[in-house]
Amino acid sequence: MSLYRTLDPTTGQLVESYPTIGDDELEARLEAAARAFDDWRKRPLSERTGVLQRAAELLEQEAREHAATMALEMGKPLAEGVAEAEKCAWACRYYAEHAAAFLQPELHESDGSQAFVRYDPLGPILAIMPWNFPFWQVFRFAAPALAAGNLVLLKHAPGTPRCALALADLLARAGCPEGVFQSLFLSNEQAAEVIADPRVRGVTLTGSTGAGREVASAAGRALKPMVMELGGSDPFIVFADADLEQAVRIGVASRCLNSGQSCISAKRFLVERPILERFTEAFVAGMRGRKMGDPRRGDTDVGPLARADLRDHLARQVADSVARGARALCGGEVPEGAGFFYPPTVLTEVPADAPAAREELFGPVATLIPFASEVEAVAIANATPYGLGASLWTGDPARAERLIPDLESGSVFVNGLVKSDPRLPFGGVKDSGFGRELAREGMLEFVNQKTVWIA
């Protein structure tokens, strides 16, 4: 059985399969990258950012076509796929417009006549990317990397090979020279060899915590710089003085985004006791109102999960939580019929030892947890190995200011949806990874911050 397969999650039917790359071809590709880097890094910045500008135009022109590919391979509703392609265009334009300022040498005081830090590219970077945002998670790394003068070697998820090929084709048409952006269908063993190869100068991974440990171990042995954006179990903390209607609306949208398959979506909903009943009633109604179905239909809110094993794992987590005492207020059962569907589900009365309280639920399942005080809210929010994002809802700015430093997460969004934005650094702490993507901070993760001192 081929590792790389397009399997329609709406029907469960195999569409197409692709072989992994041969060892001889892989060697040729790595050698081509090494040759291309010497040329690409010397090209004017305006030429590199020009590629990004043209890529942005193509992404917008072809957004519906790319959305259809995402729907076919991993079940993303069409409207969300179009929005994803357009967000990639935004990232390309952002770095095309700001790369010059981000890479401008920075003067420092010293005992010399002049001292400054310049930012030089490292070389080919291996990007190991997931299936759930198959365009965005590639571009949020590739746009700054290419602008800085680095090369991209993409190992995409085995379930999204058509997306991987579409990305390589798009960037080639945008003007990327041969070898600058390559999509490689690697086995895990080949990926380890690529990490160890001296021609490859860094590694970035977006994926599970388990995958992060494996890749970080290999990159550490090879002494390669790396960025890891891993799983999350984000808290969504709602105080009694919050705008309840807005919190419910955004909470439902966050939990059902991408059929619940997002690392930074809200998963644990912490609600202050005085408003628990009202929040629960409105939230359950919102989850029940989400329409589940074929992601290629314009009225679908929630598509299938990407794979059968993911759906089955989520179903086991919910069933185990219910067996331990949790109560399902809606959903909670695998529907009959074809495809890898799981309905929007709300769990309450969840024991602390249940999977719904301590594990990441990667699907449209929300856990409701009451709290009585600020101290208890922070303790529950931090009672997880993850630390990606947190959403805090309150009408009291002083409360937000008090709690932000205590929340163990890479970002805190007050009265808003946790999201990735090209203008803001993005990443996590604890088991959610390390390093940052996006903004200037993300661009500087894969450059040589070279100190220059002149007498």
CA neighbor of 367 nearest in space, from 383, 404, 375: 383
pLDDT in tens, 243-272: 999 999 999 999 999 999 999 999 999 999
Q: Is the pLDDT of residue 293 over 60?
A: yes
* C-alpha to C-alpha distance for 252 and 271, rounded to whole angstroms: 14
The confidence score (pLDDT) of residue 320 equals 98
Helix/strand/coil for 202: strand
Q: What is the residue range of 363's domain?
A: 234-421
CATH number (domain holding residue 265): 3.40.309.10
* C-alpha to C-alpha distance for 80 and 91, rounded to whole angstroms: 16
Give 102's pLDDT tier (boundaries 50, 70, 90): very high
Q: Which residue has the higher pLDDT, 1 or 402?
A: 402
Residues 325 and 303 in one domain: yes
* C-alpha to C-alpha distance for 74 and 134, rounded to whole angstroms: 9
Q: Is the pLDDT of residue 296 over 90?
A: yes
Residues 197 and 249 in one domain: no
Counting the structural domains of the chain, the total is: 2
CA neighbor of 51 nearest in space, from 174, 181, 172: 174
Q: Is the pLDDT of residue 348 over 80?
A: yes
Residues 208 and 307 in one domain: no
Residues 135 and 245 in one domain: no
Position 150 in a domain: yes
The residue with tokens 């070898």 is 179
> DSSP character for 21?
P
Residue range 88-105: average pLDDT?
A: 98
Position 426 in a domain: no
pLDDT in tens, 184-199: 999 999 999 999 999 9
Considering 73, 80, 84, 229, which one is annotated as catalytic?
Answer: 229
Residues 157 and 292 in one domain: no
Position 427 in a domain: no
Residues 108 and 12 in one domain: yes
Position 107 in a domain: yes
**Catalytic (active site) residue 229:** yes
The confidence score (pLDDT) of residue 21 equals 97
* C-alpha to C-alpha distance for 241 and 222, rounded to whole angstroms: 51
Residues 238 and 223 in one domain: no
**Catalytic (active site) residue 214:** no
Residues 303 and 439 in one domain: no
pTM: 0.97
Residue range 38-57: average pLDDT?
A: 98
* C-alpha to C-alpha distance for 85 and 289, rounded to whole angstroms: 26
Considering 84, 263, 360, 445, which one is annotated as catalytic?
Answer: 263
